[in-house]
Structure 1
Amino acid sequence: MDGAGGGEPLPEAVAGEAGVQRGVEKSGERGGWLSRHAIDVRPLRHPAYRRLFIGSAVSFFGYQFTAVAVPVQMFALTHSSAWVGYLGIAGLVPLLIFALWGGAVADAFDRRLVLLASSLLMWVSTLGLLAQGVLGARSPALLLVLVAVQSVAFAVSAPTRSAIVPRLLPDDEVAAGNTLNYTMSNVATVAGPLGAGLVLAHFPIAAAYGIDAALFAVVLWAALRLPRLSPETTKRTTGGLRDVMFGLRYLATTPVLLLSFAIDIAAMVLALPRALFPQVASDRFGGIGAVGWLFSAIAIGSVVAGLTSGWIGRVRRQGVALIAAVVVWGLAVAAAGLAHSLWLAVLLLALGGAADLVSAVYRQTMLQTYAPDELRGRMQGVFTAVVAGGPRLGDLRAGLMAPAFGLTFSWVGGGIAAAVVAIALGVAFPALRRYTVR
């Protein structure tokens, strides 16, 4: 900042600044690495974002109990990994249909009200899972229906929540807010499945659903406490098909974003081994007690990467970094599929999870950098369909390949294929590997 007279700084001022700089450099010998690499928590200073963060953190932790309980219950009812894979289809179809529409609705109406309504629907579906668990219903079809309803609610709430973040934070803190959100979700994905494993080992399946239903109430409180978030644009939108198509046409003009979606789909569809976890825990690692560690392993690596993520924002060649992260993800998952020790499998899956967080932060930040506010909901709808739809297709692929080709081939072959596709996309489409942050 210039002085009052607008002239050059005085010599003694320069000397003083030099002394301060020398002091910073000395202290940096001890704390410099931490200051450069520790996660940026500045977004938590903003009350509205902080409430949304807390609500999301608590509810997502609770959701992990359901995320583990549903496939465990399905496998217990059917003794089939294929049926566990069908859960992926039950979640995918509503997601693809409603995510784009949900994003358009978030652009057309008050995002606070959209988030509240979709969260209520998700809570109702969780209560349905609780009821069937308490009543002892033994219906795989009912599980598929309740998962589908839950997916409808998620398809609307997820893009709405993501589109809200840039409205609550200054522009220079959006990337930090995304990193905090991803790290929080992965902390929950570590702690939640471990807790679910303990609950499922000692209590009926309904207990896991009950914990989710109780904790989900916090996200309703967070949505109620948000400020009004009406559309900023003066353009009239209704959240209908025309608005959805306008968003897709906009996306078609940004090939880098399309390629970032393609590489994520390849990573999740080809490499994610989640549908195999109940069978692997039972056949290879001594019983259902290992399933919590398998479900948590990827998130453990993501948490470690998130807590040391200060360097992520300083990488300029983000296209190359994205490709490299997906290659590491695929190879780490493939190596984990060959492990016959639970702890080695967890360690390798954690390495893959660290790479996955890096790729996720870059993809989300790239998307939010391009899209104006009036299109953020629709762009986040596409992002949600890809990010949440890819794993569900991955569940289906892994679940169907295991009976036909064997457990090891389904797991290891998928990881190697994901790494090969990521490299091929980088070679075939220079726009992705040449992308540099603006």
Structure 2
Amino acid sequence: MQSVNKSVGAFSPLRHKTFRNIWTTSVFSYFGHLILGVGVAWEMTRLTDSPTMVALAQTALMAPYVLVALLAGAVADMFDRRLIALVSLAFAIIASATLTSLAFMGITTPWMLLLFTVMIGCGVAFYSPSWQASIPEQVPADQLPAAIGLGAVAYNVARSAGPALGGVIVMAFGANYAFAVNSIFYIPLFVAFFFWRRNTVASRLPPERIGRALVSGMRYAKHSAHITRALFRVFVVCLCVASANALSPLIARDILGGEADMYGLLLGASGIGAVIAGLMVNAMRMKLSTESALKLLALVGALALVVVGLSKSLPLTCAALFIASGASILVVSLLNVTVQLSTPRWVIARALSMFQTCTAGGIAVGSWIWGEFAADYSVQIAMMLSAGALVVTAFLGFLLPVPNDIAEDIQQIEIPEIPEFALELSLRSGPIALEIDYDVDPEQAREFYNNMVSMQKVRMRNGGYDWSLARDIENPALWTERFHCPTWGDYLRMRSRYTQTDISVQAKIKTFDRFEGATKVRRKLERPIGSVRWKAETPDAKQGPLDYTGP
């Protein structure tokens, strides 16, 4: 069991006006997006007989979530998230309205339909990390898990009825009206973000360049065990449970002997299970540790998949899909909470975009794998194998455990003083080499070294690279920590990224240091042969940092 505020209910985040407005209007946007999917698929069947083009319609709608997620996360961390959300939604609205106009004029073509579908998908995909990263700014920290659960509820409420509503609109009025409804349903969400008055603190430094921001985000995730484990676990779980939705049409037709109406019932059961599960996130964290919950949910989900594969009864299959979908949503939500609670604000959107990519990637890869097994063997065997794989994920907790209660304080502590320097430096000057000396009692060498391993992770995830620790041969008490930053600007950014937990690690190491006064730090500008300036006051002519794509 984790330290969870028992007074926080599933709907507590809705007491906060900004979150309530954005969450409510997001339900409409999800409905619109799902209605768009039905309209695009039907319009494509009208425009062409090619099965490939029909399949590409859904690919065009979902691919942006994977392809631009990391870029969207980097942009959301670099600039005002409210502004990014507004621009992204405006782009989606304009693209959708343009597609609607072309459809009413009757001049759409298959490739034109795909193009505008991708454009709409890109707008929504760019909006998503900005919205998720903004949730901690809209609700108190103790309500964050419930807010994340409500985010899953919003989508799954739409998933339960959106496709059916889209089908009714298309059958009654035509695909062009489905496009129009989508355009309209994005507008309330745009208005909600427009009226959100976000409190921002301007950075003293310009934003990172986009390439560097992408590398910084991936480097932070790589050197943060909490995030790395959450990303891997959500990928493998989504890969395993993807069989339920991917094979639902075949389950309805081949196992239950039904038609499209039965397929709709199966989707409805999955959606309702996901909605109810989304409301249980905080209660689950209150009763069980995260790792215990993940293991239990994996076993329950696996049992449900077995029932789906063996059942010939529609009610039993619906009940099993209800459970399987609920278990998967709880797993995703619990891991999402882990990422949110262990990531500082400067990189949160990038971390969430990686989480989104792993989730979507797991579903995409899993759908393909289980589809291949179903084609080569049978739907039943595919379901059994996916259930077995899901059982295996329960044992991942012994190798890659997710923390039960995250103790890290991710509040950023910016170091206000700018280091003194005599050289004329620009933000692009680099690389910067840093050397820090420690005078340590040889009797404490082993304990000091063990603590420096933690410091290595701090330096690496906040922007450093080529970290090393050396011990003086002549004076065994003298230790030197050394690492690099790509540029002077990157070094200054690193100083603004330290969290309270990072400062605590440094304070612990300082207790070993016998040097009196401030820590002895040397900052050096590395210069390749032939580039040394003759006068210190000569401005650094370097136009950009050295290429760096390392860890």
Please tell me the TM-score bracket, short chain as reference: 0.7 to 0.9
SS at match of 1:431: coil
SS at match of 1:226: coil
Identify which range, 152-161 or 200-209, moves more after superposition: 200-209
Structure 1's 277 and 94: CA in aligned 2 closer, same or farther, altered over 3 A? same
Aligned residue-pair number: 399
Is residue 416 of structure 1 aligned with residue 378 of structure 2? no
Q: CA deviation at 1:159?
A: 0.7
Q: Which residue of 2 aligns with 1:294?
A: 266
The structure having more radius of gyration, on CA atoms, is 2
Is residue 55 of structure 1 aligned with residue 25 of structure 2? yes
Does the aligned pair in 2 maintain the 1:301–1:353 contact within 8 Å? Answer: yes
CA deviation vs aligned residue, 1:262-308 (integer Å, no higher than 9, x gap): 22222223332434445555665543333433333222012222345
Q: Kindly report the root-mean-square deviation, in angstroms, between the aligned alpha carbons of the 2 structures.
A: 3.4
Matches within 5 A, 1:136-215: 139=110, 144-200=114-170, 202-215=172-185
Letter in 2 for 1:236: P
Equivalent in 328, 343, 360 of residue 315 of structure 2: 343
Structure 1's 191 and 90: CA in aligned 2 closer, same or farther, altered over 3 A? closer
Q: CA deviation at 1:188?
A: 2.0
Letter in 1 for 2:323: L
SS at match of 2:68: helix
Does the aligned pair in 1 maintain the 2:305–2:384 contact within 8 Å? Answer: no
Letter in 1 for 2:284: I
Identify which range, 161-170 or 196-205, moves more after superposition: 196-205
Q: Which residue of 1 aligns with 2:91?
A: 121
Q: CA deviation at 1:219?
A: 1.1
CA deviation vs aligned residue, 1:323-369 (integer Å, no higher than 9, x gap): 33234334423432444444333221111121122212211111111
CA deviation vs aligned residue, 1:26-62 (integer Å, no higher than 9, x gap): xxxxxxxxx9799432222222212111221221122
CA deviation vs aligned residue, 1:139-168 (integer Å, no higher than 9, x gap): 3x5555444333322331111100111111
Q: Which residue of 2 aligns with 1:236?
A: 206
**Unmatched runs of 5 consecutive residues or more in structure 1:** 1-34
Identify which range, 230-239 or 303-312, moves more after superposition: 230-239
- Rounded Cα–Cα distance in structure 2 between residues aligned with 1:206 and 1:418: 42
- Rounded Cα–Cα distance in structure 2 between residues aligned with 1:270 and 1:177: 26
Superposition TM-score, scaled by structure 2 size: 0.64
Does the aligned pair in 1 maintain the 2:241–2:328 contact within 8 Å? Answer: no
Structure 1's 129 and 409: CA in aligned 2 closer, same or farther, altered over 3 A? farther
Structure 1's 254 and 409: CA in aligned 2 closer, same or farther, altered over 3 A? same
Letter in 1 for 2:215: M
Q: CA deviation at 1:422?
A: 0.9
Matches within 5 A, 1:205-354: 205-228=175-198, 230=200, 233-238=203-208, 240-273=210-243, 274-278=245-249, 281=252, 286-315=258-287, 317-354=289-326
Structure 1's 60 and 229: CA in aligned 2 closer, same or farther, altered over 3 A? farther
Does the aligned pair in 1 maintain the 2:81–2:130 contact within 8 Å? Answer: yes
- Rounded Cα–Cα distance in structure 2 between residues aligned with 1:108 and 1:390: 27
Greater helix fraction, Structure 1 or Structure 2: 1
Equivalent in 378, 389, 402 of residue 350 of structure 2: 378
Does the aligned pair in 1 maintain the 2:274–2:325 contact within 8 Å? Answer: yes
Is residue 43 of structure 1 aligned with residue 13 of structure 2? yes
Q: CA deviation at 1:201?
A: 5.3
Q: Which residue of 2 aligns with 1:5?
A: none
Does the aligned pair in 1 maintain the 2:25–2:189 contact within 8 Å? Answer: yes
Letter in 2 for 1:296: G
Superposition TM-score, scaled by structure 1 size: 0.78
Structure 1's 286 and 188: CA in aligned 2 closer, same or farther, altered over 3 A? same
Relative contact order: is structure 1 or structure 2 higher (C-alpha 8 Å, sep ≥ 6)? 1
SS at match of 1:272: helix
Structure 1's 42 and 147: CA in aligned 2 closer, same or farther, altered over 3 A? same
Q: Which residue of 1 aligns with 2:341?
A: 369
Structure 1's 122 and 276: CA in aligned 2 closer, same or farther, altered over 3 A? farther
Greater strand fraction, Structure 1 or Structure 2: 2
Letter in 1 for 2:322: A
- Rounded Cα–Cα distance in structure 1 between residues aligned with 2:396 and 2:53: 32
Structure 1's 417 and 300: CA in aligned 2 closer, same or farther, altered over 3 A? same
